[in-house]
């Protein structure tokens, strides 16, 4: 298929996915990873200096509340 400039809207982005890929699944096999690369992003499995974006699962505010005794 032809690649046009609109297909590369994520060009220059370096993305790490955290908590959005099912356990036991290779991140590279996920739809998130494949879609990001289709749009021009580079995806990594760990955070390094070149990472520009982290896509993370939603953090529940209740996880930050102290436990009652």
For the chain, the distance separating the N- and C-terminal CA atoms, rounded to the nearest angstrom, is: 61
pLDDT digits (tens, 9 = 90+) for 4-62: 666 789 999 999 999 898 889 999 999 999 999 999 999 999 999 999 999 988 665 55
Three-point CA angle 28, 32, 33, nearest 5°: 30
pLDDT at position 61:
55
pLDDT at position 64:
47
The residue behind tokens 């046009």 is: 4
Question: What pTM was estimated for this model as a whole?
Answer: 0.73
3-class state of residue 18 by DSSP: strand
């Amino acid at each position: 298929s032809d690649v046009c400039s609109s297909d590369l809207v994520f060009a220059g982005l370096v993305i790490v996915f955290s908590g959005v890929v099912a356990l036991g699944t290779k991140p590279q096999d996920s739809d998130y990873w494949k879609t990001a690369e289709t749009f021009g992003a580079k995806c990594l499995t760990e955070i390094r200096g070149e990472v520009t974006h982290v896509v993370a699962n939603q953090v529940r505010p209740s996880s930050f509340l102290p436990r009652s005794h």
